[in-house]
Amino acid sequence: MAKVKVTQIKSRSGATPRQIANLVSLGIHRMHNTVEVELTPVTAGMLEKVRHLVTIEEVSEKTNA
């Protein structure tokens, strides 16, 4: 599975309780906090709900040969 880096860039103040719960479930607890998560259908849905609060970057997988 692909991995993505998620960084919170906007305050969760004013966000709905559902959006705050999605941030916590992703492992984001404060501003400018960055986490790496597997991109599964579940996490993709969470990211879709909070995309206005975060930036999402694809992480390149290193291959060892």
pLDDT value of residue 62: 73
Q: What is the mean pLDDT of each run of 10 residues along the chain (65 residues)?
A: 93 95 95 95 96 94 67
Residue 35 pLDDT: 96
Q: Residues near 60 by Cβ (< 8 Å), separated by ≥ 6? A: none
What is the rounded CA–CA span in Å between residue 59 and residue 16?
A: 29
Which residue range is the domain that position 40 belongs to? Answer: 3-59
Sheet containing 34-38: give its strands across: 34-38, 3-8, 54-59
Tell me whether residue 55 is in a domain: yes
Q: Does the residue 64 lie in any domain?
A: no
Q: What is the CATH number of the domain that holds 9?
A: 3.30.1390.20
